[in-house]
Amino acid sequence: MTGDIVTAYIGLGSNLESPRGDRSRHLELAAKALSGIGEVTNMSSVYETTPWDVTDRQPDYLNAVAALSTAMDPSALVTTMLGIETDLGRERSEKNGSRVIDLDVLLFGNNVINQTGVQIPHPRLHERAFVLVPLAEINTTGVHPIFGITISELLSTVDISGVRRYGDAPSSR
């Protein structure tokens, strides 16, 4: 524990069912687990997204972002989140493979951390509409600590066509 309270933004994703439930249930269980390690002060809407950077056909993902107020240091937070993933049934069998749950630290206050197993901000945050859309929903004016531009400005640079609010009908465009 650092003792200092920091707001971390956590990306949540799921594209598989499990004995515990469907994709939506996995996000709920992960958010509940996060509230056990800090205070979830804000939660984005849930978005359905097409898989990113994969060559095989996978089911669509559900994605959201949680703002977590925590006193944990970044390394402990990442380790704890890996434990949550394991507890919820995640198996790591292939890079970018389908998963029951995925938790990523996107931002940790305004900190830049680059150590073994912990890279914050998330190194591909600026490329991924599936996290930028929900992150911008709850942190529009937040600034990327390396690029020095807002999350909204980052969002304007990516293709968001594969991201839709969960439950919304697909557009006919």
Catalytic residue among 104, 124, 168, 173: 104
Catalytic residue among 23, 102, 124, 165: 102
- Could you tell me the CA-to-CA distances from 93 to 35, 82, 96, 97, 103 in Å, in that order? 28, 14, 9, 7, 16
- Catalytic residue flag (residue 102): yes
Catalytic residue among 22, 56, 99, 128: 99
- Catalytic residue flag (residue 99): yes
Long-range CB pairs of 49-55 (<8 Å, 24+ gap) are 49/129, 49/130, 49/162, 49/163, 49/164, 50/162, 51/15, 51/96, 51/98, 52/96, 52/128, 52/129, 52/130, 52/162, 53/96, 54/96
Catalytic residue among 90, 92, 159, 164: 90
- Catalytic residue flag (residue 104): yes
- Catalytic residue flag (residue 90): yes
What residues are annotated to the active site? Answer: 90, 99, 102, 104
